[in-house]
Chains A and B, each alone.
Chain A
Amino acid sequence: MSSASGGSTARRHAIVGIGQSRLGEVGDVTAIGLMTEAILNAAEDAGIDKGEIDGLVTRGPDDIYCHHQEVGKALGINARFSTTLDNGGASQCLAVAMACMAIDAGMCDVVVCGYGRDQWSRTRERRGSRQGSMRRNVENALQSREFGPEYGYFGAIATHALGARRHMHMYGTTKEQLGEVAVAFRDHANRTPWAQMHGRPLSAADYLGGKPVVDPFNRFDCSLRSDAAGAVIVMSEERAKHYRQRPVHIAGWGTANNHRGWFYDDHMVSTPARDSGARAFEMAGIRPSDIDVAQLYDCFTYMVLTQLEDYGFCAKGEGGPFAASGALRLGGALPCNTSGGQLSEAHAEGMLQILEAVRQLRHTEDPMRQVADAEFALVSGHGGNTVCHSSLILQAAS
């Protein structure tokens, strides 16, 4: 534990409410519908009225233009401050930071940060038709139109698998070590009643027997296709005192980008988590060893290993052995993705990891899934064509 310090913005804001939608194979929903479901749940959790919300930072599927405007319309709120970020999976942690900055600038007082998608429903819609499958895979908004498809290069799985392969080559990382990430998070999902993979155990042998997709990844290295949404309510510490939940403090944040690209330099094995994390730790005035629970962006197993290194929980190249030691398990040295992450809880572009961090810091969970006496949580966001990163450090209410 270390004394609070950091920049002028540290510990001046709090999260007072969290809410999620139904998760997983929900069906018959829209992304906006799920988003509003999560936001209403967050407002109820906080004990907050519609009329108090004056800021929105929301996001959803890339083909929804001006997502925040669609959310404002559905909520019936003419928000004073409203925007959609465009950092891929790094948007959600950055959204909370943006909320704090907007509040500090006097632009708004009560901000909803949220993300929601209907990916499971969309996939099911198209599964019947071969044309539909092609469209899904080939015309993905993220898919580059040239210098890729000509060679058969499609999908975020392949992009991240390139990084995993390079890491395996440089540091001797093994499939078994990647598998420990999947197995640990599946265990956590099995302690989380609402998780999409709850009730579906995964052993190390199960992992190794997984259907190959793009080597070195099999299906268990890949995050879920989900209908899922999550939202949090952010306000100043001063205002937060008046609401029903013990506020979780926003102790620090950071962001960084490797815009030169995933193929450039050592970017595949050394991500902007390093600089983003360093900024967050500095703002919060703490060290990696002060983190009691981590929620790391797990689009793929490999990204967890490299983030463990880049955040300084272990040396570069040692993420595999660190995971294999059991450190990521509840009860281990660094319990990680304690609701199952995007690999096993549901994929809402990292938003549910913010919710789970808040849950852990409220100390409200069943002992089988609660990190005892958790004081500091780290949440990470990765994405935007693999080059964007953001970090949040949250602190339990005192």
Chain B
Amino acid sequence: MTYLKPLPVGASSLSRSFWQYCKAHELRVQRCSRCGHHWFPPQTICPDCWSREWEWQLVSGRGRIFSFVVYRHVYHPAFSDDLPYCVGVIELEEGARMLSAITSPVDAIRCDAPVHVDFADVTDDVSLPLFTLTAVT
């Protein structure tokens, strides 16, 4: 079955690194070696202190939903079978915020709800870091 949804572009070596880690089911974001700031999406310098020294930090994958929307209208035909589907901004435990799809039933999704990363192997080469609600026990 051909995967018809947009695949990661890999526009720079930085973003390619991010996606390679995702393929290995590792969620990593850049962490500044000088000031400890985390940021996403990838860029070459720390936006807080301008350091060019940073590392790909393996993060816990846990976070909270900062905000979310639910698509009820088709923008891209490959997503038409997914309607309604949710996209949200997740605030990771470590501080960076990241946009992704939230795969839990849309009616259950709330701001500030805890989520965790749940990788989806969409092709042989690509795994997407999707998020799902964390059951509160």
Which A residues lie at the B interface, using CB under 8 A?
130, 134, 137-138, 145-155, 158, 161-163, 165-166, 169, 211-216, 260, 263-264, 268
Closest to A146 in B: B9
Contact B72 A212 (CB under 8 A): yes
Candidate in A147, A151, A214 with the most chain B CB atoms within 10 angstroms: A151
A105 vs chain B, min Cβ distance (A): 32
In the assembly, what is the distance between CA of A153 and CA of B90, in Å?
14
Instruction: Tell me whether B59 is interfacial, beta carbon within 8 Å.
Output: no
8 contacts between A and B (CB under 8 A): A130-B77, A137-B75, A137-B76, A146-B8, A151-B100, A151-B128, A169-B110, A263-B66
In the assembly, what is the distance between CA of A165 and CA of B79, in Å?
22
Instruction: Classify the secondary structure of A's interface with B.
Output: mixed
B17 vs chain A, min Cβ distance (A): 13
In the assembly, what is the distance between CA of A84 and CA of B4, in Å?
38
Closest to A149 in B: B6
* List of B residues within 8 angstroms of A138 by Cβ: 6, 75-76
In the assembly, what is the distance between CA of A163 and CA of B68, in Å?
9
In the assembly, what is the distance between CA of A134 and CA of B78, in Å?
10
In the assembly, what is the distance between CA of A162 and CA of B98, in Å?
13
Contact A149 to B15, CB < 8 A, known contacts A158-B87, A162-B67: no
* List of B residues within 8 angstroms of A147 by Cβ: 15, 40-41, 98-99
Instruction: Tell me whether B85 is interfacial, beta carbon within 8 Å.
Output: yes
Contact A214 B70 (CB under 8 A): yes
Which B residues lie at the A interface, using CB under 8 A?
5-11, 15, 40-41, 47, 66-73, 75-77, 79, 82, 84-85, 87-89, 97-101, 110-112, 128, 130
Candidate in B5, B6, B100 with the most chain A CB atoms within 10 angstroms: B6
Contact A263 B69 (CB under 8 A): no
Contact A162 B68 (CB under 8 A): yes
Closest to B78 in A: A152
A112 vs chain B, min Cβ distance (A): 36
In the assembly, what is the distance between CA of A158 and CA of B110, in Å?
16
* List of A residues within 8 angstroms of B130 by Cβ: 151
B65 vs chain A, min Cβ distance (A): 9
A166 vs chain B, min Cβ distance (A): 4
Contact A213 B128 (CB under 8 A): no
Contact A169 B8 (CB under 8 A): no
In the assembly, what is the distance between CA of A147 and CA of B7, in Å?
10
In the assembly, what is the distance between CA of A168 and CA of B108, in Å?
16
Contact A152 to B85, CB < 8 A, known contacts A147-B41, A158-B69, A161-B69: yes
* List of A residues within 8 angstroms of B66 by Cβ: 166, 263
A113 vs chain B, min Cβ distance (A): 33
Candidate in A137, A214, A268 with the most chain B CB atoms within 10 angstroms: A214
Contact A154 B76 (CB under 8 A): yes
B87 vs chain A, min Cβ distance (A): 5
B16 vs chain A, min Cβ distance (A): 10
Closest to A147 in B: B41
Contact B75 A268 (CB under 8 A): no
Contact B75 A148 (CB under 8 A): no
